[in-house]
Structure 1
């Protein structure tokens, strides 16, 4: 008996720039889940560690030469993406973070289903005239995103308050709860250890933590601090750091640092929903966070009540850190509650399932609308049927 040919696998193109930190981890986790679900996953990103890890998973990776920030090279970056779209012919594009979202939406311009995931809004990262330009773009560019995926209700609210009118979907961040799990506590010495994992940059607020650290040492003189990560602010931070602060640099595996920590701190100035606190909670470690977008939603009630401090408030940060360092039973209890919360709410499998459902919705809608695609779209994306030319209004 004749067997019908299997339906072609949908081809999803992930655009990524930047290619480190939380963006890279989200792209890797989604690619892994989507490959397992039978999608044809392609990624366009600059060369580097992310590209290598994606290729190891079996992802079709295309080199996209693009800088981290907007600049005079943007027109060339967009042109390169247009050529890449013609080559890959994806059914859906998922652009991650501000730069890929900018270049990607300019290249696609709504011709195929497009998902934009800010991973924190671009206009929060800058000030003055640059912030105004970024906000104008986000308001304008929203028309070229079939969905804007926010990782927290707070991130969506920030967009709405800023006037970014879009078709939003909220999909909380998730982590690999098997990888980020409690393990042997391998202390790096006998003194209490505070760990901060994140890119060394203004967003992550390590400068505020260093200012608070002097007050922490006044209450817990033997405490030590490890900054895990690298970035543009490293030299400046090192110049002002107390001798008890260790700069660990970028590491290939952060799990041993979480497991060695007595407390994990992330004093960010802005976020969408940071991954580092979820990873720390997955490892059973308590956290102290600044109360920025996504922080409150990422914590169980007991931790939200005790472990959130205002951003850019060194005194409040120092008080929370010193208080928890001085109370080991409370740290253990909060770490246990955090682990259970992550298992129930922030497992990456739940995140991948919700993104997959969103893709299906958009692809089904595009399939239903395909006969009405204009001739210009057929020329740019040859997978659009030729009969569309006959049904296109003049």
Structure 2
């Protein structure tokens, strides 16, 4: 989410838009948004729900009132909860879930989350989804909204060669230069499915002797995953140079349990790397035509994941062909500039403002 917001900020400020980002202090979003040209205002909030929601909503109201924006664009469930409760439709509001909160939970909590989203839609001028699959998930949950779908996008990328990228990483010093290397980039948490990948890796490592796996990212599951990791698995931690990891990889895997449309597969394909992903929200929409059969596996199915990874590791010429096709596909259809232009067009529709010759102002 932080990456998506930062990319939007950069594009909007170049168009002369005043962008104010409200977010917790000290995180990656506050740093990246400021670097991209936004004014950053501290909105003190916890990641999880709890009794502090009422105070967070009051703080959101005061922040928005002080900024006095033309449009409020809220990202993810927690900000969507606080801002929409605070505003209740008084300012044009765009809500972007980045995967629905009710997919992450079960039982009573999921039922309450679905009920809230159905209720809050009346205070939302547009619910902005990053894939048609995400929109359909909302509709199936009973959310009646004014929908917009704008696919995630990524910048055009020029990466170094595989050998150069591997040589530049101290973590890969123990990995033979020609060893098959699989990379997974994502927060170490239940959503991203690394536990399933480690289960699958035991089979992959047996079938492809010498293959290595690198998990790039950090998160609440790191200790548990480290304890469960079989041989030839490395933990790189959080990285600001994920493009170098994509460049070093032969194959990129993201075994998510749910998504709206993940950035990792798009970033990897922009770097010319084939991907194996689970068939969750947005995955089919982001893959090049003809690659679904080799690259999509059911979520939670370690055996299917192991089979797909093993098959592609065994066919280097096919991987190279698929990687180049993926690079061209992402450049043509998932350019971040197109994403930003579509979001700006959505703001103008809400404000009934033509494409500006000068500048106009919006709050993020």
Match of 1:36 in 2: 14
| 1:57 and 2:36 correspond | yes
Question: What pairs up with 1:158-169 in 2 under 5 angstroms?
Answer: 158-169=137-148
2:113 to 115, 130, 134: 134
User: Which fold has the larger relative contact order, with Cα–Cα distance below 8 Å and residues 6 or more apart in sequence?
Assistant: 2
2:303 maps to 1:315: yes
1:244-273 CA-partner distances (Å, limit 9, x unpaired)? 100111111211100000000000000000
Q: What is the SS of the residue equivalent to 1:225?
A: strand
Of structures 1 and 2, the larger Rg is shown by 1
In structure 2, distance between residues paired with 1:213 and 1:329:
22
Question: 1:207 maps to what in 2?
Answer: 195
Q: How many pairs does the alignment contain?
A: 341
Deviation of 1:209 after TM superposition, in Å, equals 0.3
Contact in 1 for aligned 2:159/2:244 (Cα 8 Å): no
Partner of 1:385: none
Aligned residues: CA RMSD: 1.0
Q: Tell me what 2:361 maps to.
A: none
1:227 to 206, 210, 215: 215
Q: CA offsets, 1:63-104, max 9 Å, x none?
A: 000011211100000001111112100010000011111111
SS of the residue 1:40 aligns to: coil
- Equivalent residue, structure 1, for 2:84: 105
The Cα offsets for residues 279-334 of structure 1, whole Å up to 9 and x where unpaired, read as 00000000000001100000012221211001110000000001100110000000
**Secondary structure of the residue that 2:45 maps to in structure 1?**
coil
Q: Secondary structure of the equivalent of 2:11? A: helix
* Matches for 1:156-195 after TM superposition, within 5 Å: 156-177=135-156, 180-185=157-162, 186-187=165-166, 188=172, 189-190=176-177, 191-195=179-183
Alpha-carbon distance in 2 for matches of 1:236, 1:292: 24
Deviations 1:186-216 (A, max 9, x none): 2343211100000000100000000000110
Q: Look up the match of 2:4.
A: 26
Give distance in 2, aligned partners of 1:69 and 1:227. 25
Alignment of 1:280-319 (within 5 A): 280-319=268-307
Q: Distance in 2 between matches of 1:213 and 1:49?
A: 31
1:257 has 2:234 as partner: no
Whether 2:84 is the aligned partner of 1:96: answer no
SS of aligned partner of 1:265? strand
Deviations 1:157-191 (A, max 9, x none): 111011011000010000011xx334321234321
Q: CA deviation at 1:53?
A: 2.1
Unaligned 5+ segments in structure 2 are: 167-171, 354-364
How big is the shift at 1:151? 0.5
How far is the alpha carbon of 1:108 from its aligned partner? 1.0
Q: Is the Cα–Cα contact under 8 Å of residues 289 and 308 in structure 1 kept in the other structure?
A: yes
Give 2:315's match in structure 1, choosing from 324, 327, 335.
327
How far apart are the structure 2 equivalents of 1:53 and 1:294?
A: 25
Are the counterparts in 1 of residues 2 and 28 from structure 2 also a CA contact under 8 Å? no
Task: Say whether 1:247 aligns with 2:225.
Answer: no
Is residue 277 of structure 1 aligned with residue 265 of structure 2? yes
Per-residue CA shift, 1:200-238, capped at 9, x if unaligned?
Answer: 001000000000001101110110000000011111111
Distance 1:334 1:54 in 2: 34
Aligned pair partner of 1:116 in 68, 77, 95: 95
Q: Equivalent residue for 1:143?
A: 122
Q: Does structure 2 conserve the Cα–Cα contact (< 8 Å) formed by 1:205 and 1:268?
A: yes
How far has the Cα of 1:364 moved from its partner?
Answer: 1.4
- Superposed, which structure 2 residues align to 1:351-362 within 5 Å? 351-362=339-350
Q: Any idea what the Cα deviations from partners look like across 1:39-78, whole Å, max 9, x if unmatched?
A: 1110100012221222223311100000112111000000
* Structure 1 outlier segments of 4+, above 3 Å: none
Paired with 2:322 and 2:290, the residues of 1 have a C-alpha distance of: 7
